[in-house]
Structure 1
Amino acid sequence: MRLFRHALAAISLGLLAISAGASPANPQNGTDYRTLEQAQPTESGKKIEVTEFFWYSCPHCAAFDPALTAWVKKQGDKIVFKQVPVAFRESFIPQQKLYYALEAMGKTAEMNPKIFQAIHVDRQRVDTDKTILEFIEKQGIDKQKFTDLYNSFGVQTKVRRASQLQEAYKIDGVPTIAIDGRYLTSPSIAGASMANQPESMQQAASLQVMDHLLTKLAAEKGAEKPVEAAKPAKKK
């Protein structure tokens, strides 16, 4: 897990630099994050929904994963975290199916770091039906159960839904974080003014923007007062 130890160390340094004044202390709409023209429905009730659009073969997604995982854990039950694997081309679809088959088995948290490690550190191919099944078998996962899920109608349905979400959110790069169906940010968006800085600083900037948006949304939700029931008319 060399990549992830180094990534976490880099994120820590990036956070220190940002606290020293390198990041947007007051994130601005249109600069540090974007507001969707049409808000998307969420399914998280009173909690704030946070969705990561990602691609297993994206090196930036792999680098961001440890810090994002730690950030999600820090939020506790304040948020509902979801992931959506994207497909900018048809060749991405096997990895979408990989994610949703693992999700159905309850193994994404366990396997995502291993997949990033295999692709970006060990330089293995895990992007076709054949190479994915070979990789899964090496992980000690029930190959038949995985294969059945991988080819299932349920997974196919989720893949189609992922494409619909990708289009609805107008995702043009990954990783991208959607918050409450309204806002988009990412290391490349929040760190646009840090083009010459280490990627870790851009990642830390995006986490700070995400914190800002959560605080903003929590305040808005707290300000929403329930509609009082109409009082019965007094008898004359």
Structure 2
Amino acid sequence: MSKRFARLRVLTLLGGLLLASACTAQSGTPAPYTEGNEYVTLPTPQRYSAEGKVEVVEVFSYGCIHCAQFAPAAEKLRKQLPAGAVFKLLPAPFNAEWTPYARAYYAARQLGAVERTHLALFNAKFAEHYPINSLDELADFYAREGVNRAEFMRIATSPEVTAKLKDDLALIQHWQVDGTPTIVVNGKYRVATVHSFDEMIAVTQWLVQRELAHK
């Protein structure tokens, strides 16, 4: 799990939200967030996909309790995005412990099961304390949710998914993501130092509007 959000929760208790006083070059009005603080501009923009809409990508893991805590808010964000933006999930294969979760995500996505199982998996692991750590245990969970277990295992362990995880890790490193949950907007901005999930969403929405205005 991300140590970064453990620290941020402490910061939330200690102080309120600090807004920046810099001005935007276009409007001359005070910008609510500043480069290098609430967000950073990546030196070389790189999108997750070639889809034309503004991308909001959450780098996450089913092994991360902070991602579980953020998941309901992320779902609300997904539904509130304007028509010109799209929300996507990118599972972080940071280490051997998290790789099964990333494999499981892509298998579930190919089988059309993510929408109905995404929040349920977080709930089963962290609220109900099911032992869901290995790929076999993940397969058992998806089987209980109506997914064909054999197909799930075939896809999760396929060379195609292995290659996808390699590409994902390279992109995550390119984005300089070191914890989860992290949001990257349009492969260009990474939400950085925020004090709460609410602020993370607010910064994301502001960056989305900024990108839409430039299109």
Q: TM-score, structure 2 length as denominator?
A: 0.81
- Give the superposition deviation at 1:41: 3.6
2:127 partner letter: V
Cα distance in structure 2, aligned partners of 1:205 and 1:45:
27
2:77 matched to which residue of 1?
Answer: 71
- Give the superposition deviation at 1:137: 2.2
Alignment match of 1:190 (pick from 170, 190, 194): 194
For structure 2, which runs of at least 5 residues remain unmatched after alignment? 1-11, 20-30
Q: TM-score, structure 1 length as denominator?
A: 0.75
Q: Deviations over 1:147-198 (max 9, x none)?
A: 2211222222221221111111111000000001110115xx221xxxxxxx
- Give the aligned CA root-mean-square deviation in angstroms: 1.9
- SS of 1:53's equivalent in the other structure is strand
- SS of 1:90's equivalent in the other structure is coil
Change (3 A) 1:152 1:46: closer
- Give the superposition deviation at 1:105: 0.9
Q: Deviations over 1:49-70 (max 9, x none)?
A: 1111001121111111111111
Larger helix percent: 1
Confirm or deny that 1:217 pairs with 2:215. Answer: no
Larger Rg: 1
For structure 1, which runs of at least 5 residues remain unmatched after alignment? 1-13, 15-20, 192-201, 222-236
- SS of 2:83's equivalent in the other structure is helix
Q: 2:100·2:135 contact (CA, 8 Å) conserved in 1?
A: yes
1:108 matched to which residue of 2?
Answer: 114
Cα distance in structure 1, aligned partners of 2:136 and 2:48:
35
- SS of 1:190's equivalent in the other structure is coil
Number of residue equivalences: 190
Cα distance in structure 1, aligned partners of 2:83 and 2:212:
13
Percent sequence identity over aligned pairs: 27
2:198 matched to which residue of 1?
Answer: 204
Confirm or deny that 1:93 pairs with 2:99. Answer: yes
1:109 partner letter: E
Cα distance in structure 2, aligned partners of 1:178 and 1:64:
15
2:169 partner letter: S
2:211 partner letter: L
- SS of 2:179's equivalent in the other structure is coil
Confirm or deny that 1:49 pairs with 2:49. Answer: no
Cα distance in structure 2, aligned partners of 1:32 and 1:43:
24
- Give the superposition deviation at 1:44: 4.6
Alignment match of 1:62 (pick from 65, 68, 73): 68
